[in-house]
Amino acid sequence: MFSVDVGQEERGTVLVLRGELDFDSAVQLDEAARTCPGAGDGAGLVVADLAALTFCDSSGISALLRLYRHLAAQGRTLGLAAVPSTVRRRFALTGLDQIFLVHADVHEALAAGPAGPDTAPEAGAPARQNRKESA
């Protein structure tokens, strides 16, 4: 079972991903991206909280990459928080750890804020990574 809860914080939007992100559930993340608060206004940070993610296969990784590209095309930034070690390992093996902004938790991601104008990633371009993630 997979779910995405969308919440609005003062400094950005938080997507809480729970359960198994795989081929069957990736569509839910895609839908959340389309209905994300602030969509289309080109402003803001979106944080995907992965603390409650119990499984993520290659389809789930692809869904996260689509979310990143969708937000980047709007001039928005995606931060990932509390990334499980198995997912971090897949990011490292595929080079996606050089694209995603990774944070230890949601509070750190919101405090970091969106990438500045000189560091904001273009669609498909690598983002800088916050290496202060927990082990």
3-state SS string for the chain? CEEEEEEEECCEEEEEEEEEECCCCHHHHHHHHHCCCCCCCCCCEEEEEEEEEEEECHHHHHHHHHHHHHHHHCCCEEEEECCCHHHHHHHHHHCHHHCCEEECCHHHHHHHCCCCCCCCCCCCCCCCCCCCCCC
Among residues of the chain, what percentage have pLDDT more than 70?
A: 80
Whether the pLDDT of residue 25 is over 60: the answer is yes
Whether the pLDDT of residue 40 is over 90: the answer is no
Structure confidence at residue 34 (pLDDT): 85
Whether the pLDDT of residue 41 is over 70: the answer is no
